[in-house]
A and B are shown apart, each in its own frame.
Chain A
Amino acid sequence: MRPQPDTMPGSPTALRVDDLQVSVGDRLVAVRGVSFEVRPGESVGLVGESGSGKTLTCRAVLGLMPETGHVDAGTIVLGHGADAADLTRAGRRAWRQVRGIRLAAVFQDPASYLNPSLTVGHQVDEVLRVTGGLGRAAARVRALELLTEVGIDRAAEVYHQYPFELSGGMLQRVVLAIAISLNPELLVADEATTALDTVVQAEVLELLRRLRRTHGLSLLLVTHDLAVVAETCDRVLVMYAGEIVESGPTERVLGDPQHPYTRALMGVASVGDWSRRTLDTIPGQPPAAGDRLPGCRFAPRCTNARDDCVAAAIPLRALSGDREARCVRVAVPA
């Protein structure tokens, strides 16, 4: 099923997902056979369009599945060795020991994740006091430190402000401050910069890079924007129609994409070419969740598709340089 990865099976991982299958609604499989790992201190980008299954995968890792979704198979393990925690079917008590403490998340619209009737300071304090067990004065000091660390210049002033008084970028910084407050091992960012203005997005991405360095934080970045992944992630996982179709070190995958879908994505992504032209597009439509397709799920839209592409399900093939691709056309190393 899953090809032997380059790393030793016992090597430490911050997160390990094995053969995850998620279904929605009336048993429609939306994520199938997804396996990946995030190594300590590494940032991994999970990139795909709507319908690719990336959001569901992310929610499965966080234990925030919608009522209509269900994890059918697979395992999700946080940490390694003695600290490994199996999150797959964890109960509420298990999650309470993990959420915020070892695993944190930031999402797309920071304003809706903050209580509008409480000051920012109160909300940062809250995490430190309730989950972190700090006293009131200690929490306040630490909160101010955290706010400064995420790049808020006038931390003391902002501490007393309400969410509606702050811009989107500032709110995202506040949410990040809350997320890292208890020094988690892994931070999951689900489209965290999609709604931000360009300049602010660059600032927040830079902040994420800095936090990774200073805290040794591992990062799982879920996004539809290949450019964001290019700038921020060590490794990239490209998802299409519920499967991972290519993975590997970012520079190598984007520099020399092996899967036709990745190549197509590179073709339509922003490369700073401002000359006037008709833009590239990917013809066709991704398959809907639960659609059963013989063989490769990208075949209907692929220019290289041939008969053997739709004959049977295509496995992920290991390539040189810690890469994988789900395509029968790639050159497999001898």
Chain B
Amino acid sequence: MSAATAPERSDAPLLRVQDLAVRYAAPRKGTHLGTGAALEGVALEVHAGEVLGIVGETGSGKTTLARAAVGLVAPATGSIELEGRDLGALRGRALREFRREGRVQLVFQDPLRSLDPDLTVGRLVSEPLDVAGGLSARDKASRVDDALREVGLEPASVRSRKPRHLSGGQRQRVSLARAIVTRPALLFCDEPVSALDVSNRNLVLNLLDRLRRDLGIAVVIIAHDLSSLAGIADRVAVFYRSRLVEVGPARDVLENPAHPYTALLTASAPSVTRHHDLRPEDVRADDPARAGWAAHGGCVFADRCRFAHDACRVQPATGPLADRPDHSAACHAAGAWEPRSQEDRA
């Protein structure tokens, strides 16, 4: 079942993920490690020129999705199509060729670890072009300079520096520059602002928005907290324990959540105005009796959900809401559940 698309787009989606499952090795006996599944039954689309926010807690599968979309992990089932090409089928040389084209890029979370500390900025940013080959030295240099300028760095001053001589924010920009130097169509950013102060957070987010506008890139921002997506995401996809539980326009999803987990997220997020429409207890009721449901094909959120009922023994599929076709949720009670009211709380 594919996620509902916005009313009639002229262009096909840039990235289409269908029924994707990624599984890691089963947990060893006697330990509590491993979930067995990193992603299960995920259907998602990314359209050209949009900003999609993917939010979920640790272990929800959000980073796995990005890694699968760039070909770092192979799907167990399902398909990932980029511009119509099936990525799951690529192996060996074909995979390397695809990677060299650089149509989709991943910006890692920690630039300190993803930039080789012994190489200069110039070499780092030009490496994708060097690996791909086919460009003259002069063309490569000018592409590198363009990329550095796009991210707000002065090429002449940073090109010969090594990552350890740059500040955290500059390193991140170098990492971004390396990602856009191949002129990708789709950019995955793994927690780009998690380690930054609030005021610098917004600078980077604004930069991503500008890149999207200037270069026509679709940007997927992976975050574990909602404040990283405020104001910048067109659409938001919420992941929970390997499942996509809700996806739709950002405002819609976050102001009128259809899935209880999304509501729990928005209720939990701290706000300077201390104003909450919902409190976590309104949607949450931990019940250990339901803990086993998820392992037997039931809803992954059942053991914490206030609205779980018998139908939830079967994992709901992600389907569009009745009155909002561009907004989908995986919940049997979607649209029907009501949070506890003020009187009940007292």
Residues of A within 8 A of B (CB): 49-50, 153, 161, 164-165, 167-168, 197-203, 205-206, 224-228, 230-231, 251, 254, 264-266, 268-282
- Please state if B270 and A199 are interface contacts (CB–CB under 8 Å): no
- Please state if B57 and A227 are interface contacts (CB–CB under 8 Å): no
The distance from the CB of B201 to the nearest CB of chain A, in whole angstroms, is 8
- Please state if B58 and A197 are interface contacts (CB–CB under 8 Å): yes
The 8 closest A-B pairs by CB, nearest first: A202-B268, A270-B227, A227-B270, A197-B57, A279-B202, A49-B197, A282-B199, A274-B251
**With A50-B197, A230-B274, A272-B266 already in contact, 18 other A-B pairs whose C-beta atoms are closer than 8 Å:** A49-B197, A153-B286, A165-B31, A165-B32, A198-B224, A202-B267, A225-B270, A226-B272, A227-B227, A231-B274, A268-B201, A271-B272, A274-B233, A275-B231, A275-B251, A279-B231, A279-B232, A281-B199
Residues of B within 8 A of A (CB): 31-33, 57-58, 197-203, 205-206, 209, 224-227, 230-234, 250-251, 254-255, 264-275, 280, 286, 288
Given A227-B270, A227-B272, A271-B273, decide whether A198 and B226 contact each other with a Cβ distance below 8 A: yes
The distance from the CB of B34 to the nearest CB of chain A, in whole angstroms, is 11
Interfacial chain B residues near A164, Cβ < 8 Å = 33
Given A201-B268, A272-B230, A274-B231, decide whether A165 and B273 contact each other with a Cβ distance below 8 A: no
- Please state if A268 and B231 are interface contacts (CB–CB under 8 Å): no
| Residue among B197, B227, B269 with the highest chain A CB neighbour number at 10 A | B197
Interfacial chain A residues near B57, Cβ < 8 Å = 197-200
Interfacial chain B residues near A198, Cβ < 8 Å = 57, 224-226, 265, 268-269
Interfacial chain B residues near A274, Cβ < 8 Å = 230-231, 233, 250-251, 254-255
- Please state if B230 and A199 are interface contacts (CB–CB under 8 Å): no
A20 to B198, CA, bound (A): 26
Given A197-B57, A199-B57, A276-B231, decide whether A270 and B264 contact each other with a Cβ distance below 8 A: no
Interfacial chain A residues near B226, Cβ < 8 Å = 198, 270
Interfacial chain A residues near B197, Cβ < 8 Å = 49-50, 224
The distance from the CB of B272 to the nearest CB of chain A, in whole angstroms, is 5
Interfacial chain A residues near B254, Cβ < 8 Å = 272, 274
The distance from the CB of B285 to the nearest CB of chain A, in whole angstroms, is 13
A268 to B230, CA, bound (A): 11
Which of B206, B265, B271 is the one whose CB lies under 8 Å from A227?
Answer: B271
A205 to B276, CA, bound (A): 15
16 contacts between A and B (CB under 8 A): A198-B226, A201-B268, A202-B268, A202-B269, A225-B198, A225-B270, A251-B274, A268-B199, A268-B201, A270-B271, A271-B272, A272-B275, A273-B230, A274-B251, A276-B233, A281-B206
A279 to B205, CA, bound (A): 8
Given A268-B199, A270-B227, A281-B206, decide whether A276 and B272 contact each other with a Cβ distance below 8 A: no
- Please state if B199 and A264 are interface contacts (CB–CB under 8 Å): yes
A168 to B224, CA, bound (A): 14
The distance from the CB of B240 to the nearest CB of chain A, in whole angstroms, is 10
Which of A49, A161, A168, A228 is the one whose CB lies under 8 Å from B199?
Answer: A49
- Please state if A268 and B288 are interface contacts (CB–CB under 8 Å): no
A235 to B97, CA, bound (A): 58
A201 to B233, CA, bound (A): 23
- Please state if B202 and A281 are interface contacts (CB–CB under 8 Å): yes
- Please state if B231 and A153 are interface contacts (CB–CB under 8 Å): no
A226 to B198, CA, bound (A): 9
A285 to B255, CA, bound (A): 34
- Please state if B198 and A268 are interface contacts (CB–CB under 8 Å): yes
- A265 — nearest CB in chain B belongs to which residue? B198
- B252 — nearest CB in chain A belongs to which residue? A274
A274 to B53, CA, bound (A): 12
- Please state if A49 and B198 are interface contacts (CB–CB under 8 Å): yes
The distance from the CB of B189 to the nearest CB of chain A, in whole angstroms, is 15
The distance from the CB of A291 to the nearest CB of chain B, in whole angstroms, is 16
The distance from the CB of A174 to the nearest CB of chain B, in whole angstroms, is 15
A309 to B280, CA, bound (A): 45
- A266 — nearest CB in chain B belongs to which residue? B272
Given A165-B31, A199-B57, decide whether A276 and B234 contact each other with a Cβ distance below 8 A: yes
- Please state if A279 and B224 are interface contacts (CB–CB under 8 Å): no
A93 to B236, CA, bound (A): 55
- Please state if B231 and A201 are interface contacts (CB–CB under 8 Å): no
